Amino acid sequence: MTNETHVWWKESVIYQIYPRSFADSDGDGIGDLNGITDHLPYLAKLGIDVIWLSPVYQSPNDDNGYDISDYRAIMEDFGTMEDFDRMLATAHRLGMRVVMDLVANHTSDEHVWFVESRSSRKSPYRDFYIWRDGHDGEPPNNWESVFSGPAWEYDEASDQWYLHLFSRKQPDLNWENPQTREAIYDMMRWWCDKGIDGWRMDVISMISKDQRFPDGQVGPDGYGDFFPYVVNGPRVHEFLREMNQEVLSHYDLLTVGEAGGVTIDEAKHYAAADGSELSMVFQFEHVDASLNEPAPLVGKWGTGKASMPKLRAILNKWQMELEGKAWNSLYWNNHDQPRVVSRFGDDRPKWRVRSAKMLATCLHMMKGTPYVYQGEELGMTNRHFSSIDECRDIEELNIWHQAVEELHMVTPEQMLACFDHVARDNVRTPMQWDASPNAGFTTGNPWIAVNPNYAEINAAACLADPDSVFYYYQRLIALRHSMPIIVYGTFHPLMEESEAIWAYERRLDGQTLTVACNWTDQPQPCPLWDDEPGTFVIGNYDTHEPGILKPYEAYVTVR
């Protein structure tokens, strides 16, 4: 039994659009808002409830829109505010809500706040950002930015340094300053009043910094680790409760905080059931699990693959420990995480479809709000990188420069092998719509090359094949809408000693849903249905043999 409050965002499935790579309507090689509007019927057909749009605001695109220069304007590449309004109205008309990306840990250095802030130590905007004195020409501390190199940039004119946890074109906002916070809240109200339905909050666990700015532990590349002084920082929950009071509580919103480094105990605050902060968070434990098997060569860059038992232990723990206290988000993929069928599944042609469906079942039958990243519903795969020239992401370009060219820590071949595994560009290749040139994404030159496998893996092919990954996702989503047990049932792990099968039960009002997924390419014994066969709910084979799960079989029943 559960006494969970019933809310729409618990009953929804979210689809993430990375606008740059989704659909280009005007042939400039870059996806845009009209391209999204054109494809809304496709998303309605899939059955999704909510679209999360990665940033569409005005931006010089140092980090593909995660560097915003005007929160109240649309990026020229993507269209106009009228295009946005039309997209929003069309989505609403088709019964889908729209969640925007709130990037408020930092802005672009081209944002007027920063231009003002930089103009003089006396500027009223000086304190909107984090400025500190250096020491004998050295930065204020040894922190390394996420995108390589020092996390501080020197400003000669005012002889101070500003903090940028990401690129030097992404200066961190100073959340200690109440005026900064009010300016952000004001901007959020503006969008909420426009009728958007929620926020995905970029690196929200990093907005409150330890004001002593201590040096971090030094890593092999000579820089210090900022994590302990920034992640889940001293005032983060205070700030979020304030934001909730000031903005969120006045609207009916879905809010999800991107919370790298969040622990279960922290998540119980961020996503508390009393609604005092956010609806839910994205935790990173499962997607980071691969990073240590074997250890990466440098930073996050390795070729590891987490074992199923390790992933299972992590997600089962999140399922059980948040029960009744906080709400889970469920995701394998997003615009920062490699394609799931390549990363945790089996993308060989023989198994790709089966494996993609199994992974989807395993995640979508859990308790929480599932997120589908564009192309995941087609079983899209990672790409192969044969040269740095194929990369577009600032994270890849910077680590290449630092670890390959400058410090000679890894060879080009080693680095490219790591890119094949974890580069963000794996998920940023254009959406594969059909088998026409450039996968039907653009009639021009795509800003990033399409994955060469688009002739076989594309939406048109999926829509023509009743047995495709697309229709399987459609069924999973429809089941969530029709079976309250999938939304509200409690979670109970099964067969935790198995090396091959990830199984669990969901229970609600005397009903039991049984889910079992074979994570291997071999048949595996599975005794779960020996006593009671149950009623079939979904599976990725036409037939199920008692006592056995076929390679990558997923099987779900209810009784």
The binding site for ligand NOJ (CB under 6 A) comprises 63, 66, 103, 166, 202-203, 258, 335-336
Choose between 354 and 383: whose C-beta lies nearer to ligand NOJ.
383
Decide if 265 is catalytic. no
Q: Are 493 and 513 in contact (CB under 8 A)?
A: no
Structural tokens at position 250: 């006045």
Choose between 266 and 336: whose C-beta lies nearer to ligand NOJ.
336
Choose between 106 and 480: whose C-beta lies nearer to ligand NOJ.
106
Choose between 101 and 266: whose C-beta lies nearer to ligand NOJ.
101
Choose between 58 and 557: whose C-beta lies nearer to ligand NOJ.
58
* Whole-number Å distance between alpha carbons of 365 and 516: 10
Structural tokens at position 412: 């080009």
Decide if 172 is catalytic. no
CB 398 to ligand NOJ: min, Å: 11
Helix, strand, coil percent content, the chain, rounded in steps of 5: 35, 20, 45
Question: Of residues 101, 109, 197, 202, which has the active-site annotation?
Answer: 202
> Minimal CB distance to ligand NOJ: which residue?
66
* Whole-number Å distance between alpha carbons of 57 and 458: 29
Per DSSP (E only), the strands in 14-159 are 14-17, 50-53, 57-58, 70-74, 97-102, 131-132, 152-155
* Whole-number Å distance between alpha carbons of 557 and 494: 14
Question: How many other C-beta atoms can be found within 10 angstroms of the C-beta atom of residue 57?
Answer: 25
DSSP-assigned states of every residue in 383-450: ----SGGG---HHHHHHIIIIIIIS--S-HHHHHHHHHHH-GGGGTSPP---SSGGGGT-SS--SSPP
Return the amino acid letter for 186: D
Structural tokens at position 387: 């040269």
Choose between 277 and 336: whose C-beta lies nearer to ligand NOJ.
336
Q: Are 276 and 245 in contact (CB under 8 A)?
A: no
The label of the residue with tokens 């071999």 reads: 522
Among residues 397, 217, 202, 237, the alpha carbon closest in space to that of 326 is found at 237
Q: What are the helix and strand counts (H, E) for the chain?
A: 17, 20
Enzyme catalytic residues: 202, 258
